[in-house]
Amino acid sequence: MIDFKILVGYLNKFKSCGYEQSDNGAILIGRAPHIAPKAWLNVLFPPLDEKEIKILEEKIKIIIPESFRQFLLFSNGASFFSTTLNIYGSRQNFKRSYKNVWQPFDIVVPNTIERIHDAKDNYLFIGSYDWDGSLLYINNETKKVYRCTKDSVRALNEWGSLLEMLDSEISRLIATHNDQGMPLDETLPNTP
């Protein structure tokens, strides 16, 4: 079992800026008024259960690797540093109200309708960066995580596992923000 709680420990650095649990159970860490009055720096969405994960697999027609399955049981996607890095999940609805806003970016779309043309059947797209729209995917055979452009799966970066990627990326992003969650230099790309 992968312990994703260690990642929350990193994010708790921003608890002094605010911490809440939304009506739907999302964990909100670090208010970000420099972005918008009701913005949050980091959001962990309520976990899925095994039945919901099976339904998700049926929708995307891809087996979810064990590491990502464990992540979804911990958090149904996440948004780090005001959508700098997003980990996809199962979106429950598309209603546009404040109560419904705390949902992940939908994992179904990049794995079906907008799937990259050269993606192999065993690639599961799990996230993205807002700076350049680059995507993250897990190779179901090797269990490695890769970052690629939105046009080709050619690897820009590679990590040995999901936990390694999340650990290194959250640590890297923390180092690029001050204690209030503001970027130290907004002109620099926030991709690896």
3-state SS assignment for residue 55: helix
> What is the C-alpha end-to-end distance of the chain, expressed in Å?
27
- pTM of the shown model: 0.94
* Residue 103 vs residues 7, 57, 89, 144, 162: alpha-carbon distances, Å: 19, 18, 8, 26, 21
Q: Is the pLDDT of residue 100 over 80?
A: no
Q: Are 33 and 181 in contact (CB under 8 A)?
A: no
Q: Where are the domains of the chain?
A: 5-175
**121 vs 170: CA distance, rounded Å:** 28
Split at pLDDT 50, 70, 90, the class of 102 is confident
pLDDT tens-digit profile of 40-49?
999 999 999 9
Rg (CA), the chain: 16
Q: What is the pLDDT of residue 91?
A: 87
Tokens of 117: 């043309």
**140 vs 131: CA distance, rounded Å:** 26
pLDDT tens-digit profile of 14-24?
999 999 998 88
Tokens of 162: 């999901």
pLDDT tens-digit profile of 58-97?
999 999 999 999 999 999 999 999 999 999 999 876 555 5
Q: What is the pLDDT of residue 98?
A: 53
Q: What is the pLDDT of residue 157?
A: 98
Q: Is the pLDDT of residue 134 over 90?
A: yes
Q: What is the pLDDT of residue 96?
A: 59
pLDDT tens-digit profile of 170-192?
999 999 999 999 999 999 999 99
Question: What mean pLDDT is reported for the chain?
Answer: 93
Q: Is the pLDDT of residue 99 over 90?
A: no
* CATH code, 5-175: 3.40.1580.10
